[in-house]
Amino acid sequence: MPTLGEPRVGTGVCFAPFQGTVWRSRRRRRIRQTLRGTAREGASERLASSDFRVLEPACVRSARAGPPNDVDPGYGSATMRLAHITDLHVERVPEASDVFNKRLFGVVNLYLLGRSGHFSRAVQDALPGAVLAARPDRVVCTGDLTATATDAEFEAARQLLTGLGDMPFDVIPGNHDVYTAESAGRFSRYFGTTETRRVNAGPVDLCLFDVCAPDWQSRGFATEASVAVLGATLRQSDRPAILCIHYPLRGRRGQPYGPSGRALVGADAVEALVEATPQVVGVLHGHEHHGFRTSVGRRDVPIFNPGASGYAYLPKKHRTAHFNVYDVDATGIRAVERYAWNGEAFAAEPGGAYASGG
């Protein structure tokens, strides 16, 4: 059974009960240290509190540990490593008959205006193996598995994710998975239910909340009725829960997320529910392809977006693929590792999670 073990000093990343303003000021201090030459290359941020853990990257720890998937991530587990992938955007050129709707704009965008070059099949193909190498107990995906929600894309995404083997896997759709009215329901045929639900993931539950519906823009919709269902689902148990949702509740600087054409309608209601529901100990999302972390509310509930996991490697545009791995216990997310595609492979982000800024 994996444990967080004793606090270690290494080249890993550190995350603690999230203090958004604290880490920002700490980062500014670190930048000043770097400018003065006093920061050590690749060193983690050191935190004095014994509540905080400094972890080696999983690739280092795996050398000491047993084979992957040799743990029981189910009921009663004290700790869990949760991998978070999102926004794979698996693309397959659609049939001509599939494009006479909103998808026409998507196809033009993808294949004539070059957006398809934003994503990489080679990176996507490497993702499952890299995730397993990070030794998670469970994987969650926060949507946009496909680009235009065709059967060919869903089938390709499903085939790709068979690379996770028998790893427990939870997934919600993104707006690209319900790209057109015609595609409604297709996600479920490939990946199962989209109902709002709690899943026991060991020390915490995952609460999966689908807010996606076909839309001519890129909006999500947290309706009054769906937020009521989410509230009832969160209150089903006193167990801590991590909310998984495709859309950001907040932007990268903590501001309301926008522009409105690609934001979540009703985000304020979801945020109020998070604030009012102490069971919620974290929020995971995607949709915005450059990752960031923030927090929300007086409880400083941490919010993580790794960034698109299927992104192409375009360093001049500060663009590459990412996924996260969280160490979770019954108090919530205790540490985060962020893996980035470096042009050849996924590797722990140099300098620590989110050191790249996006």
Interacting residues toward Fe ion by CB under 5 A: 87, 144, 174-175, 287
Closer by beta carbon to Fe ion, 291 or else 351: 291
| Least spacing, CB of residue 87 vs Fe ion, in Å | 4
> How many residues does this entry show for the chain?
358
User: Minimum distance between the CB of residue 230 and Fe ion, rounded to whole angstroms?
Assistant: 19
Torsional class of 172: left (φ above 0), alpha (ψ -120 to 50), beta (otherwise): beta
- Output 18 or 257, the one with its CB closest to Fe ion: 257
Q: 350-354 contacts: CB < 8 A, separation 24 or more?
A: 350/42, 351/42, 352/12, 352/13, 352/14, 352/42, 352/44, 352/45, 353/13, 353/15, 353/293, 353/324, 354/291, 354/292, 354/293
| 248 contact partners, CB below 8 Å, separation of at least 6 | 257, 263, 264, 267, 285, 287, 288, 303, 305
Q: What are 80's strand-pairing partners?
A: 328
Please tell me whether residue 163 adopts helix, strand or coil conformation. helix
Joined tokens for residue 62: 């795996």
Closer residue to Fe ion in complex, CB, 186/287? 287
What's the distance, CA 325 to chain centroid?
A: 9
| Minimum distance from residue 323 beta carbon to Fe ion (Å) | 14
Question: In a 3-state reduction of DSSP, which class is residue 254?
Answer: coil
Q: Please identify, using beta-carbon distances, which residue of 137 and 177 lies nearer to Fe ion.
A: 177
Closest approach of Fe ion to the CB of residue 103, in Å: 15
State the residue number with the nearest CB to Fe ion: 144
- Rounded to the nearest whole angstrom, what is the least distance from the CB of residue 60 to Fe ion in the complex? 31
**Nearest-approach distance from CB 293 to Fe ion, in angstroms:** 17
Spatial distance between the Cα atoms of 142 and 179, rounded to a whole number of angstroms: 16
Q: Which of 175/294 has CB closer to Fe ion?
A: 175
Coil, strand or helix at 30 = helix
The nearest distance, CB 250 to Fe ion, in angstroms, is 16
Q: What is the largest CA-CA distance in the chain?
A: 61
Q: Which is nearer to Fe ion, 84 or 334 (CB)?
A: 84
Nearer to Fe ion, 124 or 175 (CB): 175
Neighbours of 262 (CB within 10 A): 17
Nearer to Fe ion, 177 or 329 (CB): 177
Instruction: Compute the least distance from the CB of residue 294 to Fe ion, in Å.
Output: 17
